[in-house]
Chain A
Amino acid sequence: MRTMKTIFQFIIKELLQVKRDKKMLVVIFMAPILQLIFLGYAANMDVNVIHTTIYDQDKTETSRDFIKRFEQSGYFKLDYYVDNYDEVTDLLNEGKTLVAIIIPKDFEKKINRRETAPLQTLFEGSDGNKASIALGYIQGIATKFSQGIVAETKDKLGMKISLSGSLIPEVRVWYNPEMKTRNYMVPGILGLILMISTISLMSMAVVREREIGTLEQLIVTPIKNYQLILGKLIPFTLIGFVVLIIVMVIMTQWFGIVVRGNKLFLLFTALLFVLSNLGIGLFISTVSKTQQQAMMASVFAVMMPMIYLSGFAFPIENMPQAVQYITYIIPLKYFIVILRGIVLKGIGFSSLWVETLILFGMGVTLLVFSSLRFSKKIE
Chain B
Amino acid sequence: MFNRIFAIAKKEMRQLKRDIRMLFIVFFFPVVLLAIFGYAINFDVHHIKIAVYDQDRSEYTRDYVSGLISSEYFDLVTYIDNDEQIKKLLDEKIVQVVVVFPKDLSRKLLSKQEVKIQFLVDGVDGTSANVIQNYVNAATFSYSLQLTKEYLAVTGKQFYVPIDLQPRFWFNPDLQSTRFLIPGLMGMILIITAVISISLSIVREKERGTIEQINVSPLSSIEFILGKTIPYIVISLINATIVLLAGYILFDIVIKGNIFLLLLGTFAFLFAALSLGVFISTISDSQQVAFQAANVTSLLPSLILSGFIFPIESMPVAIQILTNITPAKFYIVILRAILLRGAGISAFWDQLIYLGIFGIIFIALATVVDKKSKNK
Binding site for B on A (CB under 8 A): 21, 23-24, 27-28, 31, 34-35, 38-39, 41-49, 92-95, 111, 114-133, 135-136, 138-140, 142-143, 145-146, 149-150, 162-181, 183-184, 189, 192-193, 196, 200, 204, 208, 211, 289, 291-293, 295-297, 299-301, 303-305, 307-309, 313-315, 317-320, 322-323, 326, 337, 340, 344-345, 347, 351
CB-based closest 4 A-B pairs: A125-B169, A136-B134, A128-B175, A173-B123
Check B114–A166 contact: CB distance below 8 A: yes
Check A133–B292 contact: CB distance below 8 A: no
Q: Give min CB distance, A105 to chain B, whole Å.
A: 15
Q: CB < 8 Å: which of A116, A163, A320, A344 contacts B124? A: A344
Q: CB < 8 Å: which of B29, B170, B303 contacts A301? A: B29
Q: Give min CB distance, B72 to chain A, whole Å.
A: 12
Beyond known contacts A308-B36, A318-B45: 10 more, CB 8 A cutoff: A27-B292, A95-B336, A126-B336, A126-B341, A165-B108, A167-B140, A170-B117, A300-B33, A314-B41, A345-B91
Q: CB < 8 Å: which of A41, A95, A196, A208 contacts B315? A: A41
Q: CB < 8 Å: which of B147, B172, B337 contacts A94? A: B337
**Chain B residues with CB below 8 A from A27, complex form:** 289, 292-293, 296
Interface residues on B, range: 35 or more
B77: interface (CB < 8 Å): no
User: Whose C-beta in chain A lies nearest to the C-beta of B340?
Assistant: A126
Q: CB < 8 Å: which of B25, B318, B341, B346 contacts A296? A: B25
Give Cα A351–Cα B288 distance, bound, in whole angstroms: 40
Which B110-137 residues have C-beta < 8 A from chain A?
110-131, 133-134, 136-137
Check B141–A131 contact: CB distance below 8 A: no
Which of A39, A111, A130, A318 has the most CB atoms of chain B within a 10 A radius of its CB?
A: A318
Give Cα A117–Cα B180 distance, bound, in whole angstroms: 33
**Chain B residues with CB below 8 A from A174, complex form:** 90, 120-123
**Chain A residues with CB below 8 A from B322, complex form:** 38, 42
**Chain A residues with CB below 8 A from B323, complex form:** 42
**Chain B residues with CB below 8 A from A299, complex form:** 192, 196, 295, 299
Work out how many contacts link A and B, with CB atoms closer than 8 A: 378
Q: Main secondary structure on chain B at its contact with chain A?
A: helix
Which of B90, B110, B133, B170 has the most CB atoms of chain A within a 10 A radius of its CB?
A: B170
Q: Main secondary structure on chain A at its contact with chain B?
A: helix
CB pairs A–B below 8 angstroms (8 shown): A42-B304, A49-B314, A126-B179, A142-B163, A297-B25, A299-B295, A299-B299, A347-B92
B248: interface (CB < 8 Å): no
Binding site for A on B (CB under 8 A): 21-22, 25-26, 29-30, 33, 36-37, 39-47, 64, 90-93, 108-131, 133-134, 136-138, 140-141, 143-144, 147-148, 151-152, 157, 160-177, 179-180, 189, 192, 196-197, 200, 204, 207, 284-289, 291-293, 295-296, 299-301, 303-305, 309-311, 313-316, 318-319, 322-323, 333, 336-337, 340-343, 346-347
- Known contacts A126-B180, A295-B287; is A314 also within 8 Å of B40 by CB? yes
**Chain B residues with CB below 8 A from A123, complex form:** 167-170
Q: CB < 8 Å: which of B30, B143, B287, B305 contacts A167? A: B143
